[in-house]
Amino acid sequence: MPPFPSRTGEAPSRLRVQVVDYHTAGEPFRIVTGGVEPLRGATILEKRRDALERLDRVRQLLVYEPRGHADMYGCHVVEPNNDGADLGVVFFHNAGYSTACGHGTIALVTWALEEGVVPGPRVVVDVPSGRIETWARVEEGRVRSVRFRNVPAFVWGRGLRAAGREVDVAFGGAFYASCAERVEPTELPRLVELGRAIKRDLEARHEIVHPDEPELRDVYGVIFWQDEPGEPLTQRNVTVFADREVDRSPCGSGTSARLALLDLPIGAELRHLSIVGTEFRGRVVEHAEGGVVTEVEGSAFCTGSAEFVLDPDDELGTGFLLR
């Protein structure tokens, strides 16, 4: 990788990026707070393209080893599309830039309120898939949880065959395939490979594209789920997404996709558990053309802050990924 730019005659300078780390229901989220020039573009989707084309080494620096790991997730905080929103965000992970991230939205809003970036408790966020309204539950000056109202979720297809399984596909800000399987930590190696095979088969056989925005396309994640015995409206899941990345949380946008598939009455609450036992609570709040509007609630906690440095003499550059 070429060195970072410097003025003629000077040695290349070190890149320094400041971050704050959170987790939402166990899933990491790294928020860029300094050291990176603003993303360019009039809309979030344009800023997302700019991140890929011009600043992808920042994503690599923060996600790849030795500063991150294959299951790291994060974001750039950007200006919203217009004055109707408080924040904008571009999400990133081990394979690029997602169009939606529920756990990241919860962490971002928690950070923005705790740091006084926005007053709250209502915070409107522009994400690549659209505009999201959120509400924080604040007690004694602390953010206890964040509930977000997602973009409309809808069923794309039911009863599809992929990798020898029957799967359903739904949109919850991104496209997710859902497949009933046993969800236990010991099953993870098998589920990761099965998730890759399902995604590959679905994309080979179908063109999965949002009807209104062609940039929202393809299978982002595969949700493996099981009903919890004796517990009504309770499911356990694990989502495999990006390049074999495993969501430790119940997956926020995936929860919206599951709600679309479950066809629940308005107000009925789904208790959605993760593979590590943490939970989100989701419900359908209204019907939309061809789908439903959902709300998902969860909690995020600060885990630390850091300044990550890339020395121009470091032969590993922005890093590597091992699986």
Distance between CA atoms of residues 63 and 72, nearest Å:
5
Residue 101 annotated among the catalytic residues of the structure = yes
Q: Which of 113, 105, 156 minimizes the C-alpha distance to 131? A: 105
Tokens found for residue 168: 């359903």
Amino acid at 87: L
Distance between CA atoms of residues 97 and 74, nearest Å:
10
Alpha-helical runs (H) found in the chain: 44-54, 56-63, 102-114, 188-205, 252-262
Catalytic residue among 75, 101, 179, 251: 101
CB proximity list for 49: less than 8 A, separation 6 or greater = 41
CB of 149 within 8 A of CB of 285?
Answer: yes
Tokens found for residue 182: 């046993």
Counting every residue written for the chain, the total comes to 323
Distance between CA atoms of residues 143 and 160, nearest Å:
41
Q: How far is CA 35 from CA 16, 61, 77, 154, 219, in A?
A: 6, 12, 12, 39, 33
204: buried, middle or exposed (CB in 10 Å: 19+, 13-18, 0-12)? exposed
Tokens found for residue 302: 């600060």
Q: Which of 15, 24, 26, 107 minimizes the C-alpha distance to 277? A: 26
Distance between CA atoms of residues 216 and 295, nearest Å:
20
Active site residues: 101
